[in-house]
Structure 1
Amino acid sequence: MTYEAHRPKTGRAAGPGPRPLWRQRDFGVFWAAQTLSVLGDSFALIALPLLVLEATGSIARMGLLTAVGGAASVLAAVFAGAVVDRVDRRRLLIGCDLVRMLLYGLIPAVWLFGPQLWLLYAVLPLCEAVGMFFAVGYVTVVRGLVGTDRLTEANGRLNATAAAAGVLGPLCAGLVAAWSGPAAAIGVDAGSFGVSAGCLLLVRFTARAADDAPRKRPGLWGDLRTGVGFLYRQPVLRALTALLFGFSFLTLGLNDLVIYHLKHDLGHDDHTVGVVMAAGALGTITGALLVARVRRRLGFGRTWTGAVAVCGLAFAGLGLVREASAVALLSAAFLACVGMAGTCSMSLRQEVTPEHLLGRVTAAFWTLHYAAAPLGAAVLTWAAQRRGTAPVALVAGACCVLIALAGLFTPIRRFGRPAPRRRTRW
């Protein structure tokens, strides 16, 4: 069966003269739910490392928490695709939000009786695992809401407003942490997941076609092999998976590195950390809004490799600058390009993957390219504790640039080139 047979036949955005995305009710409500979910994540992104740093003063302990959470996410990704392709995706997304609301809500409740670091190492892996199921499910439902032809636009919009929440989240988290402590910020995080679940209750997702579900299902490991096999047969996805394996190893610990640099090296408070992280997140908005236009103009290959190269240059400079404003500027450049590269990658998978395989292919992609990231976060933060942030950031950034250069020698370079402009004859 050809890919065309798997394209949504009744998608509301697929016909002639589609309505603007913001006027499509179901996509709009889903858009709001995803934004709220990211708002909660952005609170945790600041509050959890601050809790560890407040209690221990160690960037290595921060990195260990990031590594434990990342390892749980990788393990969940092994099974997430098979589960997403088997169950009702709407119920799955709602359930994931409710579970995270309850788990994150435990932290401020327990913290009232004093710091309990063990709780963070128990709660974060569970939340990261549940978050992986949510992320895979989220990717699989977008095409049914907007149609294939508008995937890049829809993903760009989702990422842009999620980035706006990423700006507001760190800013508010920094303020709440400065006034009431990081544990209170995690309480706000828990509440945002509850509101997101309420929004998802109102969304009507497009039902999957009956022939999209195979009559005989393989086991979970068989499902993972199915996803890996599809990635291997697609030259561009195969190259992306390999290159992102190295990129994720180098960059998962970046957030811990920035927070430590601001508080330990530069001596700033929690409020400044929140402001800098929020300002940096503005870059994600810029990248998400520009990615569709840039990809149309430059093509997939140039957009992706160029974005990764700029990520590396920005990363290399983060440990060298001594002003908080410069840290914010470089963070914005890094996040803008991560957003552009990530949106291109996600849209490509959604475009070329048949509907009944989308969950398994997404899970396999994330499992493979994210597998070494937890170890990378631990190594990066351990090295920063021993050698300082400047040399570690410089080496990691240079390696990211090398990854972009390596992409020029793969099918990524030639894929999705813009069509040549036709000359008008007079």
Structure 2
Amino acid sequence: MNLFRNRNFNIFLAVQALSVAGDSFSTVAIPLLVLHATGSVVQMGLLTGLSGAASLVTGVFAGHLVDRVDRRRLLIGCDLARAALYAAIPLVWMAGPQIWLLYVIVPLGAALGMVFQVAYVAVVPSLVEPDQITQANGRLYAIYAVGGIGGPALVGVISQAFGPVVAIGVDAVTFVVSALGLMLIRLRPAAAAPADRGGLLEGARFLWRHPVMRSLTILLTFFIFLTAGVDDVLIYHLKHDLGQNDDAVGLVLACAAVGAIVGAPLIGRIRKAIGFGNTWVSATTLSGLAMGGVGLATGVPAVAVLMALFVLGTAVAGICSQSFRQEVTPSHLLGRVTAAFWTVHYVLGPAGAALLTLGAAEYGVATVTVVAGAGCVLVSLSGLLTPMRRPLPPS
């Protein structure tokens, strides 16, 4: 069936575009809320690190859960729970700033987000044919990017006019609408799974035994360590170094999403032309070079262009690696393999976010972005020395 005529996939595509727009609200509004209330980039980094730690802990059981329950109902439940959590922020904030509440809600939201993301990856092969997975992921990334353009721009305007707490309230509404949309889709029945009771370790064993997945997991662990705090540092650079207001932050992040729109439709052809390994290495090298230049940029247009290139590289690399994982992993293991993959390569993310923001406060954004960008390029080029470099069958 042609993807454009696949009703279930197209509904899924639409509600996920809305969901990612909502995610961008919290991604931008919560750091702005912290910055408005405390003026501290370190607290922004701590919250980002805590969020990453919550995702890491959740990954231990998320895959087992996704492989054992109805995946559609799980997605709906995660959306409704996140709606309730984020709705609590504006309600409690009516009595005045309550920073402690963010240290409760943000990790819980991240944990639910981790479960949602694992389930989302496992659901895609149940919506499309096997030879359409890369194309489907490309469309999802492109539609996500469209939502990502409107989301940050809108949150910047709302935050500037009404404050970031109102933007977080809008975020809660988007999760409700997403849940209602998910109720309309139907998944293709999965093949009967073998009787096994392995949890995260079962997924980790699969990753370790597969030479390409093993290499990819190790490289991404270090890549994410170096880039986990990039949004916080970007916001700090625009607000502190360049003296911009909240709507400029939203505009830059919206422009950055253009990178995903450009990259997503090209990924299938690029991968077929130069192979999985070369595609991933080229894309992550581009991201590293762009990140290195962000802190050196002294104007908003230059920052926007560099962030668009950064997102272009991460989008192409992300689509490529996710599609490959979905293609080589048996359906009954996909939740656990995805959870193990993300849990392992996010293990250093919280520390990376904390160090990046601490470094920005101590040594300046320019220094930390150049160092982190150079590290990303070295990690990326290391992929040429691994089994990822070998020719692989076309997607």
> Shorter-normalised TM-score: what interval?
over 0.9
What residue is the counterpart of 1:63 in the other structure? 45
CA contact (8 A) 1:73 1:129 kept: yes
Letter paired with 2:380: A
Deviation string, structure 1 residues 353-378 (Cα, Å, up to 9, x no partner): 01111111000000001111011100
Letter paired with 2:299: E
Q: Which runs of 5+ in 1 are unaligned?
A: 1-17, 420-426
CA contact (8 A) 1:277 1:331 kept: yes
Aligned-partner Cα distance in 2 for 1:345–1:144: 18
Deviation at 1:106, TM superposition (A): 0.5
What residue is the counterpart of 1:47 in the other structure? 29
What residue is the counterpart of 1:322 in the other structure? 298
User: Does the alignment pair 1:100 with 2:82?
Assistant: yes
Deviation at 1:207, TM superposition (A): 1.8
Aligned-partner Cα distance in 1 for 2:336–2:185: 23
Q: How many residues are paired up?
A: 395
What residue is the counterpart of 1:376 in the other structure? 352
CA contact (8 A) 1:249 1:370 kept: yes
Letter paired with 1:335: V
What residue is the counterpart of 2:363 in the other structure? 387
What residue is the counterpart of 1:9 in the other structure? none
Deviation at 1:418, TM superposition (A): 6.6
Give 1:110's match in structure 2, choosing from 85, 92, 98: 92
Identity rate, percent = 55
User: Does the alignment pair 1:87 with 2:69?
Assistant: yes
Deviation at 1:417, TM superposition (A): 6.9
What residue is the counterpart of 1:335 in the other structure? 311
Q: Which runs of 5+ in 2 are unaligned?
A: none
Aligned-partner Cα distance in 1 for 2:288–2:161: 35
CA contact (8 A) 1:92 1:137 kept: yes
Aligned-partner Cα distance in 1 for 2:174–2:318: 24
Query: Where do residues 131-146 of structure 1 align in structure 2 (5 Å cutoff)?
Result: 131-146=113-128
Deviation at 1:296, TM superposition (A): 1.6
Deviation string, structure 1 residues 359-414 (Cα, Å, up to 9, x no partner): 11000000001111011100110111000000000000000000111101001111
User: Relative to structure 2, which stretch is displaced further, 384-393 or 285-294?
Assistant: 285-294
Give 1:263's match in structure 2, choosing from 225, 239, 255: 239
Letter paired with 1:189: D
Deviation at 1:415, TM superposition (A): 3.6
Secondary structure of the 2:341 match is helix
User: Does the alignment pair 1:29 with 2:5?
Assistant: no
User: Relative to structure 2, which stretch is displaced further, 296-305 or 348-357?
Assistant: 296-305
CA contact (8 A) 1:318 1:330 kept: yes
Aligned-partner Cα distance in 1 for 2:138–2:48: 27
Deviation string, structure 1 residues 11-51 (Cα, Å, up to 9, x no partner): xxxxxxx32x1221111111112111111100111100000
Give 1:232's match in structure 2, choosing from 193, 205, 208: 208
User: Does the alignment pair 1:283 with 2:265?
Assistant: no
Aligned-partner Cα distance in 2 for 1:286–1:56: 37
Q: Kindly report the root-mean-square deviation, in angstroms, between the aligned alpha carbons of the 2 structures.
A: 1.1
Query: Where do residues 130-279 of structure 1 align in structure 2 (5 Å cutoff)?
Result: 130-209=112-191, 211-212=192-193, 214-215=194-195, 217-218=196-197, 222-279=198-255
> TM-score, structure 1 length as denominator?
0.91
Letter paired with 1:289: P
Query: Which has the greater radius of gyration?
Result: 1
Deviation string, structure 1 residues 177-228 (Cα, Å, up to 9, x no partner): 000000000011100000000000000111222x22x33x42xxx4111101
Task: List, as ranges, runs of 4+ consecutive aligned residues in structure 1 with deviation greater than 2 Å.
Answer: 415-419
Letter paired with 2:214: R
User: Does the alignment pair 1:407 with 2:391?
Assistant: no
Deviation at 1:127, TM superposition (A): 0.5
